[in-house]
Amino acid sequence: MPQAHYFLHHHPLDPPSRRVRLALAEKDLLCELILEKPWEPRDEYLKLNPSGEVPTLIIEPAEARSKTIALSNAGAICEYLEETISARSLLGDDPLERAEIRRLISWFEDKMYREVTSHLVEEKALKRLQGEGGPDSARIHTAYHNIHAHMSYIGWLTEHRNWLAGDDITLADLAAAAQLSIIDYLGDVPWDKHHEAKEWYARIKSRPSFRSLLGDHIAGLLPPRHYADLDF
């Protein structure tokens, strides 16, 4: 049977882009990655997504007569995949369960990003990639302080549940892992202080869906040696 083709406009330091890559891979959908710099969006990309943000998923259907689809925003993309691809549900099927998964996605993608990831990515990576001068150490220290509460929350959730939102792996796990995988690329996850969170991350890191993320290499910004190591 002919398959649709997937192209993902993304950036490796953008957590929602990573969440979509993981969701596609969990559903066994191969996608071709197209690198975008959201801080200087190309005109051609702005036609696809006027916000200039990543990710945007392009779906070229197998039937030549069907229209190519462009979907922007990780939340919209992941919900669309849940609604149209039956392989491996990542959102549960009970409304209450789904509400808990969506609450946790926002916890990690909005709250943890604002309190931790954004500071580290902007100060330690984007400023360098954009040639914008030295990092603001106050923001880095804020992130180092804030990360513990989020690691503890992951630990607390996994003490009460098999995965973050319940028995099965869901988009909530992918959203949390997307944040941590970027912070880990920057070498800033205090693994030795958070054993439960580390045990959970080791489980998700060893899944086939994670391989593409572990192969990421950003020019001018090498990850620490343990980044791609399943025994970290």
Question: CB count, 10 Å around CB of 205?
Answer: 22
Binding positions for a second copy, 6-25, rule CB under 8 A: none
Among 7, 80, 191, 232, binds a second copy (CB under 8 A): 80
Cis peptide before 55 (omega within 30 of 0): yes
Given candidates 35, 76, 138, 222, which one binds a second copy under the rule CB under 8 A?
A: 76
Nearest-10 Cα torsion for 139, 212, 152, 169: 140
- Nearest distance, CB of residue 74 and a second copy, angstroms: 9
The piece of 36-44, 98-106, 133-141, 199-207 that touches a second copy (CB under 8 A) is 98-106
Nearest approach, Cβ of residue 126 and a second copy (Å): 16
Question: Is position 75 an interface residue for a second copy (rule: CB under 8 A)?
Answer: yes
Tokens of 122: 């902007």
- Rounded CA-CA distance 38/63 in Å is 31
Q: Closest distance between a second copy and the C-beta of residue 148, in Å?
A: 15
Planar angle of CA 95, 97, 101, nearest 5 degrees: 115
Kindly identify the residues of this chain, within the stretch 143-182, that bind a second copy according to CB under 8 A: 153
Q: Say whether residue 127 binds a second copy (CB under 8 A).
A: no
Per CB under 8 A, the segment of 26-34, 71-79, 194-202, 213-221 that binds a second copy is 71-79
Q: Would you count residue 96 as binding a second copy (CB under 8 A)?
A: yes
**Which range of residues in 92-100, 193-201, 207-215, 223-231 is near a second copy by CB under 8 A?**
92-100
Give the residue with the Cβ less far from a second copy, 12 or 92.
92
Of residues 26 through 65, those in contact with a second copy by CB under 8 A are: 50-51, 53
Q: Kindly state the smallest distance separating residue 7's Cβ from a second copy, in Å.
A: 16
Residues near a second copy (CB under 8 A), total: 26
Q: Which residues bind a second copy (CB under 8 A)?
A: 50-51, 53, 69, 71-73, 75-77, 79-80, 83-84, 95-96, 98-100, 102-103, 106-107, 110-111, 153
